[in-house]
Structure 1
Amino acid sequence: MTSPFKQALAWCRPDVSRPLTQAWLAALWMGLLANWPLWRQLQALPEVTGLRGLGFGLAMAGIVTASTGALLSLLAWPRVGRPLLALLLLAAAALAHFIGSYGIVFDPSMVVNMAQTDAHETRDLLSGRLLLSLALLGALPAWWLLRRPAAAAQRLGARLGGNAAGFVLGLAAAAVLAVGVFADLSSTMRNHKRLRYMITPLNAVYSLGAAASRGSAAPSGPPSVIGADARLLPRPPGSRPPLLLIVVGETARSMNFSLNGYARPTNPELATLPVLSLRDVTSCGTATAASLPCMFSPLGREAFLALKQPQENLLDVLQRAGLAVLWLDNQSGCKGLCDRVPHSPTTRLPPGAAPLPAGLCDGDECLDDALLHGLDARLAALDAERASRGVVLVMHQMGSHGPAYYKRSAPDQKPFQPECRSSSLQQCPREQVVNAYDNSLVATDRLLARSIAWLQTQQQRFDTGLLYASDHGESLGEGGLYLHGMPYAFAPREQTHVPMILWVPAGGALAASLKPGCLPALRDRPVSHDHFFHTALGWVGVQASVYRPDWDLLAGCRR
């Protein structure tokens, strides 16, 4: 006969073979443990202090756990429930690592960034701490869960009712707790918006759903045509066709350029050249997937974000006007910008070019100096008729892409020591992280200076010029944040303040058309990526209805 004590114990002990019980146990694990970056961030807020702050923190933990339990109740089905819960546990463990280590948030734009990340970038993010987080927070509970015995058979109606009850009770519990601390909750979420994107795994479920919804809503088919009337303005007799080299930087932040007032000599070679560095430039986004298409669009950031139909870009307009266009890529791709123009990775050399020097590439990942290799052969391989009208060459850098900043500079380009040689930036002293990052900027400085030197060799044939702009900035530990990709609405200035550099050589047709002394006045003028398309179009003398002279940085300086 069963004793009363054993009967009471049986009532208190949950049946872990039941899918609904497993779902709520997983919710408890993820809500309390996998959200450790959220609880750490919440604890650091100055307004969450004292007994009231403790009560709010406990209520917040209950809200997160109850909401997660409500969501997971919908997955509490035999055969499919446990594998799905195991995947969510692993995903929550990975998110906990990246949010806790780099201070990033997981929103729909981050989903797009992840989808466009190549194998090299993924490899740089792997670390022992990631594996430890996956093992302890993900694999361990998933292993325990998958080893539970199968639940006893249950009628469909009863299981459906139980899952629905779990969903409703979870939402009800979260709602009751939210009402109890509504004043603190609304104030905290309004003043610290990034917290809402740190709630794991609810942030992943929402962001994946939002990204998928936007993707399915996006119209298919070819992009709409822009600049159908594009044509080259007539050149004076005897003048040379333009050769504009556009260098698209990666993850460079303006405040670390010595040309813009940074105390360290991160631009030693450009400092000796007659370049114009604009000091107050704002990016279109905080990640390549957002900024790059926006930079090459004529619309400007606000109109581009509201765009429903994909459309052509700067490269299409330049090619339609009759110019030769070439995109060289040392990154993870052009995000669709170069699909309709000649393009090539740095590792694919044209006929007649010498092999890449030893040490320049590691497998198919190269230092940015590889962009300069074989440029004469690449130029010769372009359509001769188009090249006689002018050339626009685009170089897409690897630049300062993190977290492995130390990989972006050659051994002889590391003036700042010691540097962080780990992808786990939070494990290095911040001074070493900055050293590695600044060394990558010295490598960019060298690339730009050598690009100008190559352009000077082409001046007998072309009217040359260089336009450089980075796609977005980077956080280097300020406020506990690393890397980039924060939602634009509350991204720190470090991720949106980018460098832009112009080289207009004296003696060229463009320089002769500008008012003396006008260009330096642009140095501290507030500009943005909105000006990029129109400045490039005006630079090479292309006329089109999409061109806006008020967004052409050089238009106000022309005679």
Structure 2
Amino acid sequence: MRPARLVMMVALFIATLGNLPLWRALAGLPELGNTRGVLFGIGFAAVILGALLLLLALFSWRWLLKPALTLCLLAAAAGAYFMLAYGIVIDRTMLVNVLLTDSREARELINWQMLASIALMGVLPALWVWRQRLAWPTWPRQALRNLGLALFGLALAVAALLATFQDFASVMRNHTQVRYLINPLNSFYALAILPQQPVQRSGQNVEPIGQDARLSNPAPDARPPLIIAVLGETARADHFGLNGYARDTTPRLGAEPGVASLRNVWSCGTNTAASVPCMFSPLGREAFNDRKANYEGLVDVLQRAGLAVLWIDNQPGGCKGVCDRVPRVNYRELQTPGLCQGDECLDEAMLKNLDERIAQLPPERRERGVVVFMHQMGSHGPAYYLRSPERLKRFTPECRNHALQQCQREQIVNAYDNTIAYTDAFLGMAIDWLKQRQDRYAPAMVYLSDHGESLGENNLYLHGLPYRIAPPEQKRVPWITWLSPAFSQQTRITSDCVAARRDQQLSHDHYFHSMLGLLGVQTALHQPGSDIYGSCRTP
């Protein structure tokens, strides 16, 4: 077989069967539900085919062609499965999320349906490719053939684009998610633009900030603050009973005096890798996305101001670099009988031995105040049922299949709501722990989730869609504050004032500045207009 013929066959296979998610999305557009829509689909397939031929012509050499075709087939198979199964799209943000996923998170996504799909769409065609015997000419002649293949692909793509340009422009303008479904070119493009922004996977090579940070002078008889700042995981605001959800998923917090819940808060991103470094940054979402370097964040500024800071992680994915310069506890160090199974622990394990962990912090810092960040496992999917203990499961039956699309939506929602109910119980445990230390400290608790989650609405599952096209379910997050009477008295910040902002539109952009205001940290970085707590401090 001539190499060009093999390239043509593989490219045609990918452009048609490998792009089933794209064809499904186009079929669902009302403006394409006619004969003109069918013709547009054929023209779109020709554009993809031409682009693939143009790309693969670059690799049509004796030792490169089969590996390149194999990579395309496997990338197309994997992309098609995840886009079909969970309704996701593939862009730079999703690729960063994949690169930062650890083995434990990846295991939850593996199921027999995924393996079968990748085997049929990727592995078997790749094996067929490797069995083909190719007739290779001399390299000058092959160079001419590659040039001819590239020119043919370019001509095909341009001709098809011109023939369907009016519809093509309309669809790309009105349905921007379509461009992220072109498989596997979406993955290759995301990989090509990956270096445009620094990826914050660790705390190395960061620029310092807040070097002028210091604490306000406390009153002579004031007790040092003790703050538990809970970083929630995959919690959406509209499934909290405190925020008006039909189910009472938050009975513990609802009965607790001093609790204020904000229900119109928007995340910085739609996945942990994007949201966590952003929400701990003073830059705000737009400036953070346009940054040219990585910088220190909130945790560093609090420590630089003289506070004792501790980070406890129940997330295998870690803190994405924001905690790398402060004392921290890895999720593997949380092993507690009855609360852990294998390498996964329930969130309440973070409260065990907490006094001993705090006692190991420098005493001169503890005298100024203690801030403990707790990174939850929370509502991390798709195995929601693993995130809540059997004793606290209130909503049944729940989905116990990692392939969410195989469960009824009611079962998915039940499993997810059980995780929210457990978060409510965990936050209640944290408040009880804080109350028991009021004789030495002025305690408070702040909870804010990193992003939300899709639970089958419009056939979307999990999270990670590009921010511009992501639904509110993936972006609207809960922000809950509990202030003890001692803390309110010392800081003159009341929970009633915070609760008055219940429906005000806020975002992760306010978190950095609000935490500085809550703790009385003074620095030129602090923006009073973005500080929801400082604005509630009475004269």
TM-score bucket of the superposed structures, by smaller chain: over 0.9
SS in 2 for 1:392: strand
Distance change >3 Å, CA 270–CA 509, structure 1 → 2: closer
Q: Are the equivalent residues in 2 in contact too, given 1:24–1:72 (CA < 8 A)?
A: no
Q: Deviations over 1:44-77 (max 9, x none)?
A: 1111111111111111122112212221222211
> Which of 28, 40, 49 is matched with 1:44 structurally?
28
Partner residue in 2 for 1:174: 157
> Which of 344, 360, 379 is matched with 2:329 structurally?
344
Partner residue in 2 for 1:21: 5
Alpha-carbon distance in 1 for matches of 2:21, 2:248:
36
Distance change >3 Å, CA 530–CA 172, structure 1 → 2: same
CA RMSD of aligned residues (A): 1.7
Q: Deviations over 1:172-207 (max 9, x none)?
A: 111111111111111111111111111111101101
Q: Are the equivalent residues in 2 in contact too, given 1:255–1:261 (CA < 8 A)?
A: yes
Alpha-carbon distance in 1 for matches of 2:387, 2:409:
18
Distance change >3 Å, CA 389–CA 47, structure 1 → 2: same
Give how far 1:478 is off.
1.0
> Which of 167, 170, 192 is matched with 1:209 structurally?
192
Alpha-carbon distance in 1 for matches of 2:495, 2:344:
43
Q: Does 1:262 align with 2:241?
A: no
Structure 2: which amino acid aligns with 1:347? R
Partner residue in 2 for 1:9: none
Q: Are the equivalent residues in 2 in contact too, given 1:505–1:511 (CA < 8 A)?
A: no
Partner residue in 1 for 2:219: 236
SS in 2 for 1:423: coil
Q: Are the equivalent residues in 1 in contact too, given 2:230–2:447 (CA < 8 A)?
A: yes
> Which of 152, 155, 180 is matched with 2:138 structurally?
155
Structure 1: which amino acid aligns with 2:481? L
Partner residue in 2 for 1:280: 264
Distance change >3 Å, CA 214–CA 166, structure 1 → 2: farther
Alpha-carbon distance in 2 for matches of 1:528, 1:393:
22
Structure 2: which amino acid aligns with 1:395? M
Give how far 1:510 is off.
5.1
> Which of 230, 234, 238 is matched with 1:247 structurally?
230
Q: Deviations over 1:486-517 (max 9, x none)?
A: 11111111111000000011233556613694
Alpha-carbon distance in 1 for matches of 2:168, 2:359:
63
Q: Does 1:78 align with 2:62?
A: yes
TM-score calculated relative to the size of structure 1? 0.93
Q: Does 1:504 align with 2:483?
A: yes
**Long gaps (5+) in structure 2:** none
Give how far 1:171 is off.
1.6
> Which of 87, 104, 110 is matched with 1:126 structurally?
110
Give how far 1:146 is off.
0.5
Alpha-carbon distance in 2 for matches of 1:310, 1:80:
36
Q: Deviations over 1:433-488 (max 9, x none)?
A: 11111111111111111010111111111111111100001111111111111111
Distance change >3 Å, CA 404–CA 531, structure 1 → 2: same
Percent of aligned positions that are identical? 50
Paired residues in the alignment total 535
**Superposed counterparts of 1:40-439, under 5 Å:** 40-149=24-133, 151-215=134-198, 222-274=205-257, 275-331=259-315, 332-348=317-333, 356-358=336-338, 360-439=339-418
Structure 1: which amino acid aligns with 2:236? R
TM-score calculated relative to the size of structure 2? 0.96
SS in 2 for 1:244: strand
SS in 1 for 2:55: helix
Q: Are the equivalent residues in 1 in contact too, given 2:314–2:347 (CA < 8 A)?
A: yes
SS in 2 for 1:522: coil
Alpha-carbon distance in 1 for matches of 2:204, 2:245:
46
Structure 1: which amino acid aligns with 2:27? Q
Between Structure 1 and Structure 2, whose CA radius of gyration is higher? 1
SS in 2 for 1:183: helix
Q: Which runs of 4+ in 1 moved over 2 A?
A: 17-20, 212-218, 507-512, 514-520
